[in-house]
Amino acid sequence: MECMSTMKSSVKRKAIGIVGGVGPYAGLDLNQKIYASTRVRREQDHLEVYLLSCPSLIEDRTEYLLHPDTVENPGYAIFAVVKKLSLLGAEVVGIPCNTSHCPPILDIVERGIAASALPITFVHMIRETSRFVHANHPDIKRVGLLATVGTCRSGVYAKVFEESGIEVLVPPPDRQKRVHAAIYDASYGIKCHPNPITRQAIAALSEVGTELVKSGAEAVIMGCTEIPLAMRPVNLGVPKIDTTLVLARALIEYAAPEALAPLP
């Protein structure tokens, strides 16, 4: 079998770009999962990755979806970061933020990429998550979704997963607010307290995840990139789908498929 260093000379490997700052720890988590999912024999075999984190430039995605008349569409700032990544040399780009993939935001990004003719492949996190579930859990027909209020209300997961014949269960509105608080609350939410994660955030996510399983979910989608940071110790009795890990593996697959390590 050809060693990795020899393969590099014959296979064009593309540089990966990460739109960071949405939130910042999610970008770091994605970067780590890219490295953890890359098959290497030495450190030089790792892929070229650019992480550009500009949190002060990008408005909160859910805040925009809930109040579009008072908050600037974050899609414009996200596209500006994508453009900078392209100028740095990134050829495969991902956004580690599920809410950013809601059409009112992502449409701005995708139109900007097309209008500027950027030489990149944009990897759509939610489509890749649907593809991952279909490929690795083919018997699953119903999943539960833990996500921000903005992502839940947008229906983007239901629309994408419908194409694979998978039903998406979302928590009722009051439970969506509990999940949202676990992400955003200034006193205990993951965005403000990412390291260490508070017990209160873990308990809230575990509680609502368990309710989704009792309602018939055969897997639970961790549909906000902050959630996998908190759910590592939680056992729901069904697969937990880490959308950050899915995006990491998809980015490697598009950049250098021969370097993608097997799933654990």
Contact assessment for residue 224 and residue 145, using Cβ atoms and an 8 Å cutoff: no
Alpha-carbon distance of 53 to 96, in angstroms, equals 11
Which residue among the candidates 3, 102, 192, 224 is catalytic per the annotation?
Answer: 224
Q: Is-catalytic flag, 224?
A: yes
Closest residue by Cα to residue 223 from 134, 138, 128: 128
Tokens describing residue 18? 């990460």
Write out the two tokens for 128.
């890749």
Q: Render 36-66 in DSSP notation, one character per residue.
A: HTB--SSGGGSPPEEEEE-GGGS--HHHHHH
Find the helix packing angle between 75-88 and 103-116, rounded to 10°: 40
- Choice among 3, 97, 102, 192 that is catalytic: 97
For the annotated catalytic residues, the residue numbers are: 97, 224
